[in-house]
Amino acid sequence: MRIATLASFAAALMIGLGGAALAAEHEIKIKNTNGKGKFMVFEPDFLKVEPGDTVRFVIVDKNHNAEAIKEVWPEGVEPLKGEMNEDAEFVVEKPGYYGIRCLPHYTMGMVALIVAGEPTNQSQLDAFKAPGGAKKRWDELLEQVKK
């Protein structure tokens, strides 16, 4: 009986560790331009990930940050708050839409959208209205969601 219990524990441990090993890491660059006519960009600005994955924001050009658009962020998940000129990262805790902005360039359209698993916060995405120049880019990101 004891051997069976140990075997069950070992199997559960292996499954748990296997799930952690499957988590992916994603990198989004924070740049002044994409070299194709867009300025103030996250590259990529749209990303599909799974819960448990890590998303890392890498500063390529100075005077940027990456932080949560709190209106489009799953409830109960600590919002990302990257500091100016510093890389930032977060682990995707649960399914949902994760809106990202660069605070100083937000109204210029410096936004990104991350979709994790099967999102549970569709009403947030539907209700959100991006301000100023961010509206056009945000609408482009919403088109990516539909694909």
User: Above 80 in pLDDT, residue 71?
Assistant: yes
Strands 67-68 and 96-101: antiparallel
User: Above 90 in pLDDT, residue 44?
Assistant: yes
User: Above 90 in pLDDT, residue 60?
Assistant: yes
Q: Tell me the domain boundaries of the chain.
A: 24-146
Q: Which band of pLDDT confidence, cut at 50, 70 and 90, is reported for residue 98?
A: very high
CATH superfamily of 24-146: Cupredoxins -  blue copper proteins (2.60.40.420)
pTM score, two decimals? 0.85
Cβ(58)–Cβ(29) under 8 Å? yes
User: Above 80 in pLDDT, residue 20?
Assistant: no
- Mean pLDDT score, 54-62: 98
Cβ(106)–Cβ(78) under 8 Å? no
Encode pLDDT of 99-130 as tens digits. Answer: 999 999 999 999 999 999 999 999 999 999 99
